[in-house]
Amino acid sequence: MKTILLFLSLAIILPLSALATCATTDTPTNQVWLGVLDTNGKPLNASNRYWIRPAYTTMDIGGVRLANLDDQQQTTTCPTSVVLSNLPKDDGIAVYFTPKNPNKYQLILASSPLNIHFYFDYPLCSNFAVWKVDNLVSKWPPILHTISTGAKLGNPNDFSSWFQIKPLGRNYKLVFCLESTTYCRDIGFVRQNGYRRLVLSEKPMPFVFKLDDRIGMASCYA
């Protein structure tokens, strides 16, 4: 009788302990990587969209958006140059962060590769939403590695379109790292044609991410 009771006890306890192990090792709190937070202190989620804004309001500039700087590589009338708005109260154009290796919780993790693409709720220029680094293979003469749009979403073979978010003090910086190499550069800006244009730089721009909770509304171009 004792043998039967012992067997029944093990049959009940073992499945419960296995379930507890699965629950504790598969929760976001046990994630090895650091989650990126928005301005409300909540984790960034791949299903949400966010405005990328300068971390300091004293910088007298607004959020990230698009502009036509007359040096576009594509034969299109759509603006493709990624810039900072000249209006401090302008949040810019909201973006989605799409991880290269998504997790089941859709969290955006620091130092992990991701695509950044602008949110448009209309078809015009929708093929020019995904960020990329320009002139990546050009080493001579030295030219700016500017940030523009026109890449394809989720293309693992396009090394120019994968970025990372990394902590910068209490804020964050955007980083471009060339896969399978030690090449990594921060994203800053240069002044160009009346705008502050995003480029690869040795001086990182501090950013924060503000949730865009509107429904069916996309920002206009510059």
Nearest in space to 55 (alpha carbons), one of 209, 208, 212: 208
Question: What total of structural domains would you count in the chain?
Answer: 1
pLDDT value at residue 122: 76
**SS3 state at 167:** strand
Q: Which two tokens stand for residue 146?
A: 């500017």
Task: Examine residue 132 and state whether it is found in any structural domain, yes or no.
Answer: yes
pLDDT value at residue 58: 76
Task: Examine residue 21 and state whether it is found in any structural domain, yes or no.
Answer: no
What percentage of the chain reaches a pLDDT higher than 90?
A: 64
Q: Write out the residue range of the structural domain in which residue 77 sits.
A: 49-211
Task: Examine residue 24 and state whether it is found in any structural domain, yes or no.
Answer: no
Residue 19 confidence (pLDDT) above 90: no
pLDDT value at residue 118: 97
> Is there a contact between 185 and 200 (Cβ–Cβ < 8 Å)?
yes
Task: Examine residue 30 and state whether it is found in any structural domain, yes or no.
Answer: no
Confidence of residue 113 (pLDDT cuts 50, 70, 90): very high
- Burial readout 28-63 (b: 16 or more C-beta within 10 A, e: otherwise): eeeeeeebbbbeeeebbbbebbbbbbbbeeeeebbb
Confidence of residue 12 (pLDDT cuts 50, 70, 90): very low
pLDDT value at residue 27: 42
Give me the phi and psi of 20, to 5 degrees please: -65, -40
Chain mean pLDDT for the chain: 83
What digits encode the pLDDT tens for the residues 26-75?
444 454 568 999 999 999 999 999 999 999 987 789 999 999 986 655 56
| Region of 106 on the Ramachandran plot (φ > 0 left; ψ -120 to 50 alpha; else beta) | left
Instruction: Give the number of residues written for the chain.
Output: 222
Q: What is the CATH number of the domain that holds 207?
A: 2.80.10.50
* CA distance between the termini of the chain: 81
Task: Examine residue 58 and state whether it is found in any structural domain, yes or no.
Answer: yes
Task: Examine residue 158 and state whether it is found in any structural domain, yes or no.
Answer: yes
Task: Examine residue 40 and state whether it is found in any structural domain, yes or no.
Answer: no
Span 167-189, average pLDDT: 95
Span 14-22, average pLDDT: 31
In a 13 Å sphere around the CA of 144, the CA atoms on its Cβ side amount to: 15
Task: Examine residue 216 and state whether it is found in any structural domain, yes or no.
Answer: no
Task: Tell me the C-alpha distance between 151 and 153, whole Å.
Answer: 7
